[in-house]
Amino acid sequence: MNRHDPEGAIAESAKAYSNWGRWSADDVLGTLNFLDEAKRREGAALVRRGASFSLSQSFDMDGPQNGWRRRTNPVHTMLDTGTDAVLGHQGFPHGIGGADDVISMPLQCSTQWDGLGHIFDHGMAWNGRPAEHVVTSAGDLVTGVEHMAPYVAGRGVLLDVGRFAGGGTGELPDGFAITEEQLTATAQAQGVTVGRGDIVVVRTGQLTRVRRDGWGEYAGGPAPGLSFTTAGWLHRTEIAAIATDTWGFEVRPNEFEASFQPLHQVVIPNMGLLVGELWDPDALAEDCARDGVYEFWLTAAPLPITGAVGSPVNPIAVK
Amino acid sequence: MNRHDPEGAIAESAKAYSNWGRWSADDVLGTLNFLDEAKRREGAALVRRGASFSLSQSFDMDGPQNGWRRRTNPVHTMLDTGTDAVLGHQGFPHGIGGADDVISMPLQCSTQWDGLGHIFDHGMAWNGRPAEHVVTSAGDLVTGVEHMAPYVAGRGVLLDVGRFAGGGTGELPDGFAITEEQLTATAQAQGVTVGRGDIVVVRTGQLTRVRRDGWGEYAGGPAPGLSFTTAGWLHRTEIAAIATDTWGFEVRPNEFEASFQPLHQVVIPNMGLLVGELWDPDALAEDCARDGVYEFWLTAAPLPITGAVGSPVNPIAVK
Amino acid sequence: MNRHDPEGAIAESAKAYSNWGRWSADDVLGTLNFLDEAKRREGAALVRRGASFSLSQSFDMDGPQNGWRRRTNPVHTMLDTGTDAVLGHQGFPHGIGGADDVISMPLQCSTQWDGLGHIFDHGMAWNGRPAEHVVTSAGDLVTGVEHMAPYVAGRGVLLDVGRFAGGGTGELPDGFAITEEQLTATAQAQGVTVGRGDIVVVRTGQLTRVRRDGWGEYAGGPAPGLSFTTAGWLHRTEIAAIATDTWGFEVRPNEFEASFQPLHQVVIPNMGLLVGELWDPDALAEDCARDGVYEFWLTAAPLPITGAVGSPVNPIAVK
Amino acid sequence: MNRHDPEGAIAESAKAYSNWGRWSADDVLGTLNFLDEAKRREGAALVRRGASFSLSQSFDMDGPQNGWRRRTNPVHTMLDTGTDAVLGHQGFPHGIGGADDVISMPLQCSTQWDGLGHIFDHGMAWNGRPAEHVVTSAGDLVTGVEHMAPYVAGRGVLLDVGRFAGGGTGELPDGFAITEEQLTATAQAQGVTVGRGDIVVVRTGQLTRVRRDGWGEYAGGPAPGLSFTTAGWLHRTEIAAIATDTWGFEVRPNEFEASFQPLHQVVIPNMGLLVGELWDPDALAEDCARDGVYEFWLTAAPLPITGAVGSPVNPIAVK
């Protein structure tokens, strides 16, 4: 890997790990195609205790966003309240009162899926489509996140790399590039396998750290994350999706000079991989450490917002 | 039931079917307490084929909202697009481009859960709390929908009353008040039981009709729905939640003169029932009619929007 | 004018009435350049009584927008209220309480100016710039409405064509194409001249009608308005700006077959004319009819929203 | 003034300087009543050169807001762009293309007027009305800023206290409490008088400083501003309105212990004074320093947002 040539390295990886045309010319699901009914049966069999966990951060103004590229925290306002109801302002009969609310937010402000239209490689979107025909001001006309609505439910696997490689702290330092070897060694140490159709959740421990120390530069700054070199593993394992507890999934600063999210450029438009960010695996990870079981049933259904290139999500793991 | 005395009937039902104090003084979950780990094990065992279904309507400007109480359809706009990327406006290195987006929407604009702070009875919110201490302009300070984030996953049951009682059309007419008898007869005809901790989805067929004929007054106008008299059944069965394919869950026009959503007034603040509206059970219902199996695993996780009195949701059923 | 050839007619007018390069290669003001200090002195001298009039429609959910091209009415919500203050929810000392609010709205939802980046002609924006370099997802990078912030104050002239040509009703019917002859005859009948640097307000009476009869198709439907043939007059008079009491300034249905706002296509990108829409001249018009004075001091300052292609405005006329 | 007793001092000032009932029981304009037609004639006579100045800061994401009480900077997004138009995505005939946009913003995010419903004193709003009957979740039902729409145009006076008392720097330090003596001495030094119906703009120079040094705590932090003791002057002069180049009009930290905006509590609900904040008087101030003329015609028309407790504004001064 030549640190001085991100463009060359990206081109090589993009070619080696492309899934363009793998499913069909009009595919809108990418690697989510790997998550089939057999995989769902396998996942559902993992529900042994019936304990459920949310892997979502909260959605409110105390979030990490700092305005970069106009990504802000959500603004939640009330249309009607209990104070109004009690003071008789609502005009309803027989003592009924109500509260209603509104939200305004970037779709990637908190726990989220990147849609397939979120990233382009040299003007090309997933499956080899010209980006300008896919995502206009009217949204993603082809691969909008609504197409994934029914499918993101299957076997989940937690790889707690923070715990495995964090030197006892449970947390990887910022700038830590997670390699394929560390992913597979973590899986082995946890006694779990990763394979075709799985939804993999990687815990780095950064969220644990910023929850303790303050957001700081969590949104866009230095972070542990997947090395650019894991592209082959992401391709070879044929996983359906991957998510992390960080802002940007891959290690930051990025491993190339003067680069920006090179692994995204390979895995989203070329591989068609479903990528999740800003997840909160901590409660689940504690439970997994306790019982030694790192696989579970996972539902992480995006909201079917027509034409969206991302979606907020509350992923639910059940063990 | 005295059609001229909604206030008396509501008071009677509220008292008879109250769950205040049933779990604890600081309860924030209501009937979701019925959905325990045993129920989740039971639900997961229903995944036999691995087929998954979204029960969500889409989120876009072609929705049913008409501005009543400032409920509008979602407005989705782009922060970055493929056209910008292709035309070189993004300033990123090595050929990466991106798209980002924003949404502004009422939390109850499309498929949704009502939070426990959504409805009050004579100034009292769920569990006997004064509404003015629960929901202020800052949101629901006590029973915000975020408290339910990990829990809404379990056994789902579809009651296709539209199919059972629709006289062959699959659709109940507007104003049709579904009674307890019809609910139990539908269940019996379908060969399914409803019990403690279940998430019940009632299909009336109204959505099928408006999808064919246009939204019309779907938001707030006449609709089939549960009769006020089902409050006892909703309480006795100890279900965790109920959802319909209509705007307002209960029959409209309401069964009392000069009334507004009287069943809501009983079941949300008094019973603590989790109520879903604007769901789309049609694809699932077709499958159930085909294979005769009306029970399934259901995950319908609200977004943990801090202090929200409702949440958009993409419910996923797996059979 | 060949009704079957809008493209030819537009091309001809665009060429005849182009102001490209008239001021400078980097001009961002268009015809607002005509409104100079002398014109402001002339305008200020028109303040004789000191009576002031707002020419703005209100900004609220009872507005005319119907969702076309995602233009909605404004949604105004409260962040803090008097009910919260009185009930002690705000946590402020010594009895102070407060209310705050938020708005979400299209910039052209109610009384507004079109920015110079609002309309393009065959991919070209004002002054001959390629539209794709002017208006991206980041907004209007060149001719954003903020550039006009200090300048829109000068001599205003009301042409009450509704009164003059409305056959005694004060209202032109929908589809009525106002010609140059009618504009000049109206001015003459009113005893007023129109010239270089003026801000002209044309009253058609349509707003009066929809205020009485309901919005109907006011937003985008049939309306009285300027004929395509007035382009020459708009150019020759060297007015700084023009505004109407209609949604779209020009007559609708448009005068060509299968066309859409052809006069816009000539006057905004080619002539650089500042165009206002959805104005409410009725109170002012009544006063003018009373005292026979149709000229006044007019301030109609757009909000300096960086990169906006339009702006809400509350125009103030003082006589 | 007892620094330890804000509540007592506020009560005393509120009583001494109350205008409740001064105009009528149903007044919705407060001190704007002082701005009459004669004053407008006087103001218009000040237009000598015809030079116009915007006193507005920009409206964009680079603003000062930091999320306090959910006040954010505006989020401006595009519904249509030039890139889409050029790439043929808009579906319009004969080569016309267009751009449209949307904004989401607190009404007090940038240059603004405080409405009369913005502040309460012990639960009472302007003119002695119970706050809970005035401002609910539906907005200000009585004194919404729309009532002021036609009237805010008259004689403006700049008091450049930053220049006069800034020790040669043109800037008052943060925490500097401007007294009545300094206001009158500034006016005297400038050769200008302040009186009934005037709109007074006070320049402290803080905006000049933060423009140079970065926003820092401009929104809500330490700032120069009017001393609590100026309440009498504000009342006695019978000015119509006052505005500053700071976030909060009055000096911060406030002059009492454990207090919050005590002067607001006196002047808005009790005196009915129209208060402007976040104005940008710098370009105008430079011109005034140059020609020695500190009075001008000023139009600062709030947008008639129905029920709003504040409004963005682009104030235009003409000399």
CA angle C104, B111, A26 (to 5 degrees): 95
Cross-chain Cβ contact D153/C52 below 8 Å: yes
Number of H helices, E strands in chain A: 10, 19
Instruction: Give the nearest chain D residue to C266 (CA atoms).
Output: D96
What confidence category does residue C290 fall into, taking pLDDT thresholds of 50, 70 and 90? very high
Nearest-neighbour CA in chain D from C30: distance (Å): 17
Cβ-defined contact of C81 to A81 (cutoff 8 Å):
yes
How do residues C14-41 score in pLDDT, each as one tens digit?
Answer: 999 999 999 999 999 999 999 999 999 9
**Torsion sign across C-alpha atoms C290, C294, C296, C299:** positive
Nearest-10 crossing angle of helices C206-213, C282-291:
120
Minimal-distance CA residue of chain D relative to A100: D137
Nearest-neighbour CA in chain A from B147: distance (Å): 10
Checking if the pLDDT of A1 tops 80, the result is: no
Task: State how far the Cα of D152 lies from the Cα of D303, in Å rounded to an integer.
Answer: 11
- ipTM surpasses 0.95: yes
What is the C-alpha to C-alpha distance for residues A144 and D264, in angstroms, rounded to an integer? 49
Which residue in the set A77, A83, A86 is minimally distant from C102, CB to CB?
A77
Three-state secondary structure call for residue A33 = helix
Helix H, strand E, coil C: the string for B86-135 is HCCCCCCCCCEEECEEEEEEECCCCCEEECCCCEEECCEEHHHEEHHHHE
Overall average pLDDT of the A59-81 stretch: 95
C258: buried, middle or exposed (CB in 10 Å: 19+, 13-18, 0-12)?
exposed
- Of all residues in chain B, the percent with pLDDT exceeding 90 is 98
Query: Is omega for the bond preceding D64 within 30 degrees of 0, making it cis?
Result: no
Cβ contacts of A167 within 8 Å, gap of 6 or more: none
Q: Where are any strands of DSSP class E within A149-308?
A: 153-159, 177-178, 199-202, 225-226, 241-244, 274-277, 295-299
- For D119-132, the pLDDT digits (tens) are 999 999 999 999 99
Residue B10, both tokens: 């509501």
CB D55 within 8 A of CB D317: yes
Do the chains contact at B77 and D137, CB–CB below 8 Å? no
Q: Which residues of C touch B81 (CB under 8 A)?
A: 137
H helical segments located in chain C? 6-16, 37-44, 82-86, 131-134, 161-165, 180-190, 206-213, 231-236, 262-266, 282-291
Sequence letter at residue B316: I
What is the mean pLDDT of the segment spanning A28-52?
98
What is the average per-residue pLDDT within B94-109?
Answer: 97
Q: Which residue from D minimizes the CA distance to A62?
A: D67
C-beta atoms of B89 and C61 within 8 A: no
How do strand A153-159 and strand A199-202 relate by DSSP bridges? parallel
Percent of chain B with pLDDT over 70: 100
How close is the nearest chain A Cα to the Cα of C266, in Å? 24
Q: Would you list which residues of chain C are within 8 Å, Cβ to Cβ, of chain A?
A: 75, 77-79, 81, 83-84, 86-87, 89, 102, 104, 137
Coil vs helix vs strand at D116: coil
Residue-level pLDDT at A103: 98
The amino acid at A252 = R
Contacts of B59 in chain A (CB under 8 A): 146, 303-306
Q: Are D136 and D25 in contact (CB under 8 A)?
A: no
A43: tokens are 């996942």
Residues composing chain B: 319
Q: At what angle do helices D206-213 and D282-291 cross, to 10 degrees?
A: 120
Q: Binning pLDDT at 50, 70 and 90, where does residue A201 land?
A: very high
* Contact criterion met (CB below 8 Å) for C274 and C35: no
User: What would the mean pLDDT of A211-217 be, rounded to a whole number?
Assistant: 98
Residue C69 pLDDT exceeds 90: no
Chains that contact D by 3+ CB pairs under 8 Å?
A, B, C
Taken in order C17, C23, C27, C32, is the CA torsion positive or negative? Answer: negative
Instruction: For residue A157, give the 3-state DSSP assignment.
Output: strand
Q: Is pLDDT of B67 > 80?
A: yes
Phi, psi of C237 (to 5 degrees): -70, -20
Helices within D45-143 (DSSP H only)? 82-86, 131-134
* Cα–Cα distance for residue pair C310/A272, rounded to 1 Å: 38
Mean pLDDT by 10 residues, chain D (319 residues): 94 98 98 98 98 98 93 96 94 96 98 98 98 97 98 98 96 98 98 98 98 98 98 98 98 97 98 98 98 98 98 98
Relative to beta strand C52-54, strand C316-318 is: antiparallel
Where residue B250 falls among pLDDT bands split at 50, 70, 90? very high
Rounded CA-CA distance D126/D267 in Å is: 9
Rounded distance between C-alpha atoms, residue C61 and residue D306, angstroms:
9
Q: Is the pLDDT of residue B292 over 80?
A: yes
Handedness of CA A203, A205, A207, A208 (dihedral sign): positive
Q: In chain C, which residues have their Cβ closer than 8 Å to the Cβ of D316?
A: 150, 152-153, 299, 301
Instruction: Write down the pLDDT at residue D1.
Output: 77
A75, A84, A137: residue with CB nearest C83? A84
pLDDT at C166 over 90: yes
Q: Which amino acid is at C22?
A: R
Cβ burial D240-258 (10 Å sphere, 16+ → b, else e): bbbbbbbbbbbbbebbbee
Whole-prediction pTM value? 0.97
- Cβ-Cβ contacts under 8 Å, D97 against chain A: none
C-alpha torsion angle, residues C29, C35, C38, C39 (rounded to 10): -170
| Residue numbers in A near B282 (CB within 8 A) | none
pLDDT of residue B69: 87
CB contact under 8 A, C79 and D71: yes
Cα-based distances in Å from D98 to A81, C252, D152: 40, 18, 34
Q: Which residues of A touch B94 (CB under 8 A)?
A: 6-7, 10, 256, 259-260, 262, 265
List the domain boundaries for chain D: 6-69+106-318, 75-103
pLDDT of residue A152: 98
- Half-sphere exposure of residue C36: CA atoms within 13 angstroms, side-chain side: 5
Helix (H) or strand (E) holding D102: strand D100-106
CB atoms within 10 A of CB B290: 8
pLDDT tier at B1 (50, 70, 90 boundaries)? confident
pLDDT tens profile D133-171: 999 999 999 999 999 999 999 999 999 999 999 999 999
Tokens found for residue A148: 């994934």
- Out of A75, A79, A83, the one facing C84 most closely (by C-beta) is A83
CB contact under 8 A, A102 and C137: no
Q: Quick one: average pLDDT of C225-238?
A: 98
Superfamily designation of domain B6-69+106-318? Putative cyclase (3.50.30.50)
